Amino acid sequence: MTAQLNTPDVPASSESPRGVPVTRSRTALRLRRVLRAWQLYVLLAPVLLYFAVFKYWPMYGVQIAFRDYNPSDGFSGSPWVGLAHFERFFSSFQFDLLLTNTLVLAVLNLLVVFPIPILLALLVNQLVSQRFRNVVQTVLYAPAFISTVIVVGIIYVFFSPRSGLVNHVISLVGGTPINFLAEPGWFRPLYIGSGVWQDAGFSMVIYLAALAGIDPSLHEAAKIDGASALQRIRHVDVPGILPVVSILFILAVGNLLNVGFEKALLLQTPLNMSTSQIIQTYVYQAGLQQAQFSYSAAIGLFNSLINLGLLLTFNWVARRFQQSSVI
C-alpha cells in the first residue's frame, strides 16, 4: 500500500492526478485524495492519538457513572446499576449544600470578574500618555503568571490571623482581628477578590487588542462632531468590542460550574467547608481520596451536563440576538 502512496506526490506534468479519474466512482476519488495526503495525516497522527486516548477514552469511561466500577472489569465490564449513583447523590444531605455553594460562587464570580476587565480596558484605551498605558498594562497583567498555589500562599500570608498584614491594619484602626481562612463568610470574598487581582489585567489585554482593531476614523469623526470621551466610549468603543464580549461571555457561562476549583481546594480549611465545599472539590475528595470512582464520576457527569446545557442555552440566545456565536 505504501508503494502506491508515494507516487502521486510528484505531479510534474500538466495533467494533475485529480483530473484523470473522471470515470471512477466518487469513493475511489476520495480515497485517492486521502492517500495523497498521507504525510499530512502523519503530522496530525500524534494529536489524534492524544485526543483519542486522553479525551475520548475518558468520555467513553464516563459510563462508569451508571455502573459499579471495579478495576478488573474495566469501564465497560463492570456491573450496570443505572441511575443508582445519581439517585444517591440527589438524595444525599450534601446535595443542596454543594449545588448552592457551586452556583453562588460561580455566579458571583462571573458577575464580578467578567465586567471589570472590560471597564479597565475602556479606560486604559482612552489614556493619553502612551508610556503610562504601557506601565498599566505590564503591571496589571503580571499576576496572571503567578501560580494558583502562590496566589493562595500570598492570601494565607496576608490574611494570617496573627502575623498577617491585613489583621495588623485592622488592629491599627481599632478593629478585632479576623481569622479570614476559618470564617465561612470570608471564603467567597477571598476567592473572588484574588481572582480579580490575578486575572483582570490579563483579560483586559484581550479587550485592548479588540479596541485597537476599531477603525480610528470612527473616533476622528466622533471628535469632529464634538463627542466627549465618555460619548466616544459609549458609541464607538462599546459597540466595537461587543462581539468579542459576547463570545467570551458565552464561553465563561459554558464553564460556569468549572469555577477554578483548584483555588477553592487550596483555600479550603476544615472550618470554612460550609461555603468552600463545591461540586468539583467534592468529586476530588469522594473520588480520588476515598476511591468511590463510580459515585464521583456520576457527580462529575452531572456537573458537565449542567455546563453543557448552560453553554447551549446562552449560545442560542446570543445567536438569536446577534450574529456572533461560539458554535
Partner 1 sequence: MATATAARTPRPRQPLSGRVSDRAFNRASVLLMSVAILAVAYPIYFIVIASVSDPNAVQNGQVLLAPSGFTLEGYERIFSDPTILRGFGNSVLYTALASTISVVLIVSGGYALSRRDLPGRRTITFLLVITLFFDGGMIPRYLVVKELGMLNTIWAMVIPAAVGVWNLLIARSFFDVTIPHELREAAQLDGASDFRFFFRIAVPLATSLIVLMAMIHVVANWNAFFDALIFLNDADKYPLQLVLRNILIQSDLSQLGATTGDIESYAQAQRVGELVKYGTIVVSTLPVIALIPFLQKHFTKGALLGAVKS
- Residues 77-116 interacting with partner 1 (rule: CB under 8 A): none
Instruction: Return the SS3 of 196.
Output: helix
Cell numbers of 180, please? 479570614
Instruction: Pick the piece of the chain touching partner 1 (CB under 8 A) from 76-84, 88-96, 97-105, 118-126.
Output: 118-126
Q: Which is nearer to partner 1, 94 or 324 (CB)?
A: 324
Question: Is the Cβ–Cβ distance between 139 and 133 less than 8 Å?
Answer: no
Whole-number Cα distances in Å, 222 to 125, 148, 150, 203, 226: 16, 43, 46, 27, 6
CA dist., res. 77 & res. 68, Å (int): 9
Binding mask 143-182 for partner 1 (x = CB under 8 A): x-xxxxxx-xxx-xxx---xx-x--xx--x----------
Instruction: Pick the piece of the chain touching partner 1 (CB under 8 A) from 77-85, 94-102, 184-192, 222-230.
Output: 222-230
Select the residue interacting with partner 1 from 92, 94, 126, 179 (CB under 8 A).
126
Instruction: Return the SS3 of 296.
Output: helix
Q: Which is nearer to partner 1, 97 or 312 (CB)?
A: 312
Least spacing, CB of residue 109 vs partner 1, in Å: 18
Least spacing, CB of residue 303 vs partner 1, in Å: 7
Binding flag, residue 26, partner 1 (CB under 8 A): no
Residue type, 312: L
CA dist., res. 87 & res. 302, Å (int): 11
Instruction: Pick the piece of the chain touching partner 1 (CB under 8 A) from 82-90, 183-191, 270-278, 306-314.
Output: 306-314
Tell which residue, 20, 45, 44, has the closest CA to residue 32.
20
Least spacing, CB of residue 100 vs partner 1, in Å: 21
Instruction: Return the SS3 of 92.
Output: coil
- Residues 263-292 interacting with partner 1 (rule: CB under 8 A): 265-266, 280, 283-284, 287-288
Count of residues that interact with partner 1, criterion CB under 8 A: 110
Question: Is the Cβ–Cβ distance between 70 and 80 less than 8 Å?
Answer: no
CA dist., res. 127 & res. 46, Å (int): 47
CA dist., res. 209 & res. 203, Å (int): 10
- Residues 35-74 interacting with partner 1 (rule: CB under 8 A): 37, 39-44, 46-48, 50-51, 53-62, 64, 69, 71, 74
Least spacing, CB of residue 9 vs partner 1, in Å: 5
